[in-house]
Each structure stands twice: as C-alpha cells, then as structure tokens.
Amino acid sequence: MNSSPEKTSPKGSNFLRPVMLLLLWIIIPGVVAEAQYFGRNKPSYRKFEFDVVQTPNFELYHYMKNDSLLKSISCWSENWYSMHQTIFRDTFLTRNPLIFYTTHADFQQTNTISSLIGTGTGGVTESLKNRVIMPVASSLAQTDHTLGHELVHAFQYNLFLNPDTMRKLSINNVPLWMIEGMAEYLSIGSVDPNTSIWMRDAILSNDFPTLKQLSTDSRYFPYRWGQSFWAMAGKTWGDTIIMPLLKKTAELGVNEAVKKVLGYEESTISALWRLASEEHYKKYLEGKSDSPVGRMVVSKANAGETNISPSISSDGKYLAFFSEKDLFTLDLFLADARTGKIIKKLSSVVRDNEIDDFNFIESAGTWSPDD
Ligand SMILES: [Zn+2]
C-alpha cells in the first residue's frame, strides 16, 4: 500500500505505537522456533549480571569473562558500523545497545523480548529500542556474521522508524526477502557457497522464482533468495542502487519501485535475474545431473516435511533422526534403517519436561556403544 504523506497520520504518532517489530537471523528454514513452543513458558534458569562497555557507536552489554573475545566483538561492531554506514548513509544519534549472551541457551532465556526463541534463531533486533540481542555463536566467524546481519537490521529500523522518514516510508511495504536478503548480502557479500547450493539446485530443478513469487510463496526461503537478488543488483547497478531501491519499495512496493529505480517491469527484472544466474551457474552444472547416489529412506511420505540429523546404529539396523512429523515440536524418532519405517518416537520436547530444545544445528545424536 502506498503511504503517501497526505494519507498518513500526524508526524510521530505511528512511532509511538506499542508494537515491537522483530527481525531474526534464522539459521535454517522450515523449523521456525515460535511454533515449537506452543503452550510452553519461557525458561529462566539464572540471573545475568551485565557489565557495559562503550565503543564510539555502541553500548555493549555482556557478562563474558573473555577479554579478547570482548575486544573482538567491540572491533567487529565498529567495523560493521562503518561498512553499513557507507551503504545506508546514515548515523546513529546515540550509542546503539548490543546485548550479548555467552551461550545460545542463555540467549533463549533473555527477558529483553517476550517472544520465545528457538534453536534456529541466531540473533534478534528489536525495533522499540533498536537493540541487537544475540549469543556468541559456535565459531568466531559465525558470531561476526550474525552481528553484521543484525546491525543491518539496526540501520533498517533507524531508517524506517525515524520520525522524519516514516511519514513517507513504511517497512510494511518491503517484503521479507528484501529485508533479510539485504542483511545477508551486506554481511556475507555476493560469493557464498551456501546460497550457491540453493541457486544451482533451483536452476537444475527449473524452480527459479520471480520477485512476485518470492513475496507471496513461503516455499522460497527469503534469506538465500534475497541475498542472491541483491548480489545481482549490486553487480549490475552497483551497491549505490541499494538505498534508492529500498526506499522506493518502502514508499510504493516492489513492483513500482523496480519500475522507477531500475527502469524495468517486475517480470523483466525477474527474467534478467534468472538469466544472469543461469549464465553464472551453467559452467558448474555442465555434465552434471540431478541423480544422487543411493535411495531415499526417510521422506515426507513416511516421516515429516523436515527430517534431519540422521544417525545410524553401529550394527546398521536402525536410524535415529529428528523430525517435525508430529507438528508442534521437533522430536527424535527411531526407524528401520533399511525401509525408513518409523518404529517409535524416542524423545520429545513436549513429553520430556527437562528438555527445552534439541540442538540439531550444531550437534548430532550418537549411539551408545552397547546399542
Ligand atoms: Zn535478519
């Protein structure tokens, strides 16, 4: 919807609406945290004694004992700030809060936001105080990336929730793939093996979406596709196109924005993006076919939509894996390794109260040696 100045409410009134927007960095698609916690309370096991460190543009809240890590995070924050600043051409008027938890389990207990946080959430940026809340990840590189990603959101909120611009711009006009894709593109860049896997697979499967499909069809994971789109736009028109396109989209929506800023209809831009991707990946696909070795044992036909972290028993007879087969949670199932037929559910977050979540992303199950 067009939010032209004459149609919006008086300056500043929207800014005070008691609605908190959240932008998350989600590590994997499909298993989104909130749904898994249906009917459960947020656990809180300990009280955190936070210290504050100030850098030129940030206030870093932490309770970490590791000075060198703290120093690294302070440096990364300022580096990201200056990198993002060149794109957004914007400054934070006050020091932006960064709240760091030492582990993901601690992060899940945060009381800075009320919503529940699942294993797949790598970080959160909330709109009211523009706070970035995140854990130290399992590697320094991942922590740095999540920080860079969330700080893009901090700049986005700084733009969209600024009383001077929000009369004209609305974040509601910007599709998620544009928001998250930008955060990925500006924190990873255009060369990314992970995104390349998705793109090659889409080309091979003849399932490359248009911009319209990206905005309306949830099958297309906004992070990877959005990053690919911005990488193409950056390569074609230069990164100086990012802000005009983002702002025009916030004003008029994607279709009108691409027409006005890039000079083509949405369908033409979609076709150009697809052709550029096909051209780029063609050389990697030559002589290859989509015929994986082996056979599918577990699929949505006999398990859930998401079936992950398989672990085979030492005698090769059984297979344990996580699946969201029973809708609300990710449970641990035991199956026949030959047929994939599920024998029983071994464990469930809902049934076993001492378990908050299965960390299927950074760890995998294993079998007892005597099994
Ligand atoms: Zn994000």
pLDDT digits (tens, 9 = 90+) for 142-190: 999 999 999 999 999 999 988 888 788 999 999 999 999 999 999 999 9
Q: Say how many Å lie between the CA of residue 104 and the centre of ligand 1.
A: 17
Q: Say how many Å lie between the CA of residue 123 and the centre of ligand 1.
A: 8
Higher pLDDT, 314 or 63: 63
366: pLDDT confidence band, cut at 50, 70 and 90? confident
Give the strand order in the sheet containing 318-323: 307-312, 318-323, 331-336, 342-347
Q: Say how many Å lie between the CA of residue 146 and the centre of ligand 1.
A: 9
Judge whether 130 and 158 are in contact, CB under 8 Å. Answer: yes
265: pLDDT confidence band, cut at 50, 70 and 90? very high
Q: Say how many Å lie between the CA of residue 67 and the centre of ligand 1.
A: 27
Evaluate if residue 27 carries a pLDDT over 70. no
Q: What is the mean pLDDT of the chain?
A: 84
206: pLDDT confidence band, cut at 50, 70 and 90? very high
43-47, 112-116, 191-195, range with the lowest pLDDT: 43-47
Alpha-carbon distance of 350 to 222, in angstroms, equals: 29
Q: Say how many Å lie between the CA of residue 208 and the centre of ligand 1.
A: 22
Q: Say how many Å lie between the CA of residue 298 and the centre of ligand 1.
A: 31
Q: Which residues contact 156 (CB under 8 A, 6 or more apart)?
A: 23, 171, 179, 182, 183, 246
* pLDDT of 133: 95
* pLDDT of 308: 84
Which SS3 state, helix, strand or coil, does residue 120 take? coil
Alpha-carbon distance of 41 to 39, in angstroms, equals: 7
Q: Say how many Å lie between the CA of residue 24 and the centre of ligand 1.
A: 4
Question: HSE (CB half, 13 Å, CA atoms) of 183?
Answer: 28
Q: Say how many Å lie between the CA of residue 19 and the centre of ligand 1.
A: 18
* pLDDT of 353: 57
Q: Tell me how far CA of residue 307 lies from CA of 25, 35, 67, 332, 341, in angstroms.
A: 21, 17, 40, 10, 13
pLDDT digits (tens, 9 = 90+) for 267-294: 999 999 999 999 999 888 887 766 777 8
Alpha-carbon distance of 366 to 303, in angstroms, equals: 20
What is the reported pTM? Answer: 0.81
- 14-43 average pLDDT score: 48
Q: Say how many Å lie between the CA of residue 150 and the centre of ligand 1.
A: 6
- 345-364 average pLDDT score: 67
Alpha-carbon distance of 231 to 148, in angstroms, equals: 16
Q: Say how many Å lie between the CA of residue 184 and the centre of ligand 1.
A: 8
Which SS3 state, helix, strand or coil, does residue 24 take? strand
41: pLDDT confidence band, cut at 50, 70 and 90? low
- 220-243 average pLDDT score: 96
Question: Which amino acid does the sequence have at 163?
Answer: P
74: pLDDT confidence band, cut at 50, 70 and 90? very high
* pLDDT of 301: 86
Evaluate if residue 35 carries a pLDDT over 50. no
Alpha-carbon distance of 88 to 177, in angstroms, equals: 18
Q: Say how many Å lie between the CA of residue 354 and the centre of ligand 1.
A: 30
What sign for the dihedral angle of Cα 63, 64, 70, 76? negative
Q: How many helices (H) and strands (E) does the chain have?
A: 11, 10
